[in-house]
Amino acid sequence: MAPDGDGRPGPRRSPASATGGRTATPEAVRLPNEVTSFVGRRQAVAAVKHVLSGARLVTLTGVGGVGKSRLALRVAKDLRRAFPDGVWLVELATAWDSSQVAQSVAGALSLGDWTGRDLQELADHLACRQALLVLDNCEHVLAGCCMLANELLSTAPGVRILATSREPLRSTAEHVWPVPPLPVSAVDGPDADTSPRQSEALMLFEERAAALIPGFTLNDGTRAAAARLCQRLDGVPLAIELAAMRLRALSVEQILDRLDDEFRLLTTGYRGASPRHRTLRATMDWSFELCSTAERALWARCSVFPREFDLQAANRVCSGEGLTEHDVFEGVAGLVDKSMLIRVEGCGRARYRMLESIREYGRQRLSEAGEDALLRRRHRDYYLRLAEESDVDSCGPRQDELVRRLRAEGGNFAAALDYSLTEPGEARTGLRMAVALWFYWIACGCLGEGQRWLDRALSLGTAPSGERARALWVAGWIAHLRGDTVASVALHGQSRDLAWRPEDRTTLTRAAFLGDEQLWADNLLRALTLLEQARDRRGVQGYWPAPALLTFALGFPAAELPGEIDSAMAFFSECRVLCESMGERWASSWMAWNIGVTWWAMGDPDKAYEHARDCLRTKAELDDQVGIPCCVELLSWVAAWQSDSRRSVVLFGAAEKMWKPLGRPLLGSEVLLKWSRESQVRSREALGDQAYDNAYQEGARLRRDEIVAYALGERTSSSGVTSQPPAAKDEPLLTKRERQVAELVARGLSNKDIAAELVISRRTAEGHVERVLTKLGFSSRTRIAAWIARQKEN
């Protein structure tokens, strides 16, 4: 029925006269009282109206409380003049099965009792009409809605249907439009939104609070807490409105503190709302009852994942005890259709996540089923295996893929570690996992997080063991990268002393590799002795993991060793050849950086630039958050030497911003810090204080991707000045090994043949070919051949 001004049913009237004539212009479709607010969504309204102009059936899908009905009603209101025979709201919440759908439509159109009458008659009645039907809340009568839509769309060409449902109708004519939660401002992190007032979710919270408490407004003291509250509620309008109602009794901060059990807190709704929308719990109960038995079990079990997960993880963790892997696959698909799971892309595969309110409801159901402890342990075991696999795979040609995978699973690693360090008897396993994740802590730049987990694990696992010795070693390495040389030396000393007790040769060898921190502590003789021992030991064992390679990459800062330059360069060359033979890029890029620093110390900034630029490209591809600012710093020094003072200061400001969450700049090296200060003094003298400060602030405002682009000369600064890096002599786009591979591709060799020609593994050859294609921007091997031909002509 067409709703009247206050959202309640108005007088019934026929969409057409008895003689078939058209009605007068229909009344405006108005929003019910409980959804009179309509913050945001303006772009969504315009988009849905555009889709509806070309599609005759559009279904708005999304989780309960996300605002599907609100959006549909606003679209209907805007379109009322486009449909001479009316815009009609068909509320299906009270229909108890699919046979009631036609009766509900007939009732909305004031056609009287439709019991026992054919659907065809309803279609014939609308055959010559131009009307919009809004079918609201279709999820529990999907079959009936689909039958109705198919019949009307084939018989009544002037009728269009706008449906709301938690899953699609599955009609062949259907256009599905997912309704996401309201955008929420980021309130944490280096690139956080500094204007949370612009968040649509925050605007809704403030508007609803002002409607309940006259004069209410957010201020500087409450805005950040309100933004965190909206984040915690995932931007779901219903949850935000229910939370705003609690402001009658609680402050914003108190509401945020009490959200651990949001289903108890958010229990007061609007009397005019439908029963299932009066509390968050009622909304979740409604959705849960619409799921199959397998989907309900899977919903509860998937709540053990704190963030995203993929299908493989769901299979390993959630199958068993009544669910087969096929049940999990079908259940995931069903929960995606019902908007209980949101599909996201990542790591080259589909991943899934739950809104926090849905996850919390699932946790409660999991606990009620008595499966909480079992699923948490399964979750820990799965991510322990993943962590240990990452340790094994950390030195190879697909490190960029490994970095992306580890980043995507960060929340799951944290949950698994928390389980191990809180569950009685699991502390040693937690220590083992924290060590296995060294590549995540270090290569992905999660130094602070890694330090916190290792400190926590070490405080629990105090008994002498190989795990403890290795944990001390990783903790010392992290301290070294954060610029805390004193702590690094102490932790590595403890690691070596402890490793002797169980004669842990692996840990002894690793501890020996960490002779580099002795260099940074100015104990050159001790450092060189340890490095030589490590090299000899690895030469015998024939195994070079990424930690070993990185130690050599950072462990021989030749700039600090007078008279050792030639030896250092030979040493670096040996290590880079070793890296290339394995397709390793991460440690190799650190060697490139160290070579660049060495050339800088020798007074050759052009060569320093070449190596820093090549290093930065690789580190950007690997998203190495420690390595990127190191490269940007070196490029800043080169710019200062080249008298490009403004560029130097922009780069310095950008590097300073990146160092803040990591630790002391430039790994705490006094020599490197001295060179950095000298470069900035030179630039300040050239620019003057005001211009220097402006350039510094510009660099500090750049995002990470913008910093990399600017440093490589691929971005124009906000001032309109194009970044111009110094031109490198005979600048190579590809490394020497990549050039070899490109030439072999041009000769028509397969990856297998390239591997045989260069005496490397086939996997390594594949990695080289992929990087050549990426760097050259090509999609086929034929284009590589053409590029090589042009290079030879030139």
Start-to-end CA span in the chain (Å)? 76
Give the pLDDT band (50/70/90) at residue 193.
very low
| Whether 532 contacts 546, CB under 8 Å | no
Residue partners of 461: CB distance under 8 A and separation at least 6: 427, 428, 430, 431, 467, 468, 471
**Topology (CATH) of 291-370:** Arc Repressor Mutant, subunit A (1.10.10)
Write phi, then psi, for 270 (nearest 5 degrees). -90, 135
Overall average pLDDT of the 767-794 stretch: 75
| Whether 762 contacts 751, CB under 8 Å | yes
Kind of pairing between the strands at 349-353 and 309-310: antiparallel
Nearest to 62 by CA among 165, 174, 153: 165
| Whether 476 contacts 495, CB under 8 Å | yes
| Whether 548 contacts 513, CB under 8 Å | yes
pLDDT given for residue 331 in this prediction: 95
> What percentage of the chain's residues is helix, strand, coil (to nearest 5)?
60, 5, 30
Helix orientation angle between 645-659 and 627-641, rounded to the nearest 10 degrees: 160
| HEC profile of 635-685 | HHHHHHHCCCHHHHHHHHHHHHHHHCCCCCHHHHCHHHHHHHHHHHHHHHH
pLDDT given for residue 521 in this prediction: 44
Phi-psi region of 759 (alpha: psi -120 to 50; beta: other; left: phi over 0): left
CATH class of the region 418-574: mainly alpha
Give the pLDDT band (50/70/90) at residue 783.
confident
Compute CA 387 distance to the chain's CA centroid, rounded to the nearest angstrom. 19
Higher pLDDT, 254 or 696: 696
Higher pLDDT, 554 or 359: 359
pLDDT given for residue 208 in this prediction: 86
Compute the distance between CA of residue 258 and CA of residue 316 in angstroms, rounded to an integer. 34
Furthest C-alpha separation in the chain: 105
Compute the distance between CA of residue 537 and CA of residue 551 in angstroms, rounded to an integer. 14
Joined together, the tokens standing for residue 274 give: 């439908």
The CATH code that applies to domain 736-793 is: 1.10.10.10
Residue corresponding to tokens 């083992």: 432
At residue 48, the 3 state secondary structure works out as helix
300-311 residue pLDDT tens? 999 999 989 999
Compute the distance between CA of residue 710 and CA of residue 696 in angstroms, rounded to an integer. 14
Higher pLDDT, 639 or 757: 639
Superfamily covering domain 33-178:
P-loop containing nucleotide triphosphate hydrolases (3.40.50.300)
- Using the Cα atoms of residue 735, residue 737, residue 739 and residue 741 in order, give the sign of their dihedral: negative
372-410 residue pLDDT tens? 999 999 999 999 999 999 988 887 788 888 898 999 999
**Single-letter amino acid code for the residue at 596:** G
| Whether 51 contacts 58, CB under 8 Å | yes
Higher pLDDT, 495 or 127: 127
| 353 CB-side CA count, 13 A | 13
Residue corresponding to tokens 């204080």: 689
Overall average pLDDT of the 19-44 stretch: 46
Nearest to 186 by CA among 194, 178, 174: 194
Nearest to 454 by CA among 514, 399, 396, 495: 495
Overall average pLDDT of the 91-107 stretch: 86
DSSP-assigned letters across all residues of 419-450: HHHHSTT-HHHHHHHHHHTHHHHHHTT-HHHH
Domain boundaries, the chain: 33-178, 196-281, 291-370, 418-574, 579-711, 736-793
321-352 residue pLDDT tens? 889 999 999 999 999 988 889 888 766 788 99
Write phi, then psi, for 714 (nearest 5 degrees). -110, 10
Q: How many CB atoms lie within 10 A of CB 487?
A: 17
Compute the distance between CA of residue 691 and CA of residue 724 in angstroms, rounded to an integer. 18
**Single-letter amino acid code for the residue at 3:** P
Angle formed at CA 297 by CA 295 and CA 302, multiple of 5 degrees? 90
Compute the distance between CA of residue 379 and CA of residue 303 in angstroms, rounded to an integer. 11
Joined together, the tokens standing for residue 242 give: 């229910």
pLDDT given for residue 506 in this prediction: 52
Q: How many residues does the chain have?
A: 794
Identical topology for domains 291-370 and 736-793: yes
DSSP-assigned letters across all residues of 302-347: HTT-SS-EEHHHHHHHH-BTTB-HHHHHHHHHHHHHTTSSEEEEET
Angle formed at CA 383 by CA 377 and CA 386, multiple of 5 degrees? 145
Please say if the pLDDT value at position 23 is more than 80: no
Angle formed at CA 545 by CA 586 and CA 608, multiple of 5 degrees? 35
Joined together, the tokens standing for residue 516 give: 């580099």
Joined together, the tokens standing for residue 653 give: 């400001």
Residue partners of 312: CB distance under 8 A and separation at least 6: none
pLDDT given for residue 20 in this prediction: 37
pLDDT given for residue 2 in this prediction: 39
49-68 residue pLDDT tens? 888 988 999 999 998 888 89
Percent of the chain topping pLDDT 90 = 35
Q: How many CB atoms lie within 10 A of CB 622?
A: 20
| Whether 160 contacts 133, CB under 8 Å | yes
Residue corresponding to tokens 């439009």: 177
Give the pLDDT band (50/70/90) at residue 762.
confident
Compute the distance between CA of residue 320 and CA of residue 315 in angstroms, rounded to an integer. 9
38-48 residue pLDDT tens? 445 777 888 89
To the nearest 10°, the Cα dihedral for 163, 52, 50, 3? -60
Overall average pLDDT of the 474-496 stretch: 86
Structural element, H or E, at residue 61: strand 57-61
Write phi, then psi, for 390 (nearest 5 degrees). -65, -35
| Whether 673 contacts 665, CB under 8 Å | yes
Distances, alpha carbon 707 to alpha carbons 593, 633, 675, 721, in Å: 17, 11, 21, 14
Residue corresponding to tokens 């690691």: 495
265-310 residue pLDDT tens? 555 544 444 555 456 777 788 888 889 999 999 999 999 999 899 9
Compute the distance between CA of residue 254 and CA of residue 213 in angstroms, rounded to an integer. 17
* Sheet-wide strand order for 87-91: 87-91, 131-136, 159-165, 57-61, 174-178
Compute the distance between CA of residue 305 and CA of residue 379 in angstroms, rounded to an integer. 8
Angle formed at CA 693 by CA 688 and CA 694, multiple of 5 degrees? 105
137-168 residue pLDDT tens? 999 899 999 999 999 999 999 999 999 999 99
| 693 CB-side CA count, 13 A | 2
Query: Is this model's pTM higher than 0.95 or not?
Result: no
Please say if the pLDDT value at position 222 is more than 80: yes
Q: Which residues pair with 343 in a beta bridge?
A: 352
Please say if the pLDDT value at position 551 is more than 80: no
Joined together, the tokens standing for residue 705 give: 């991707």
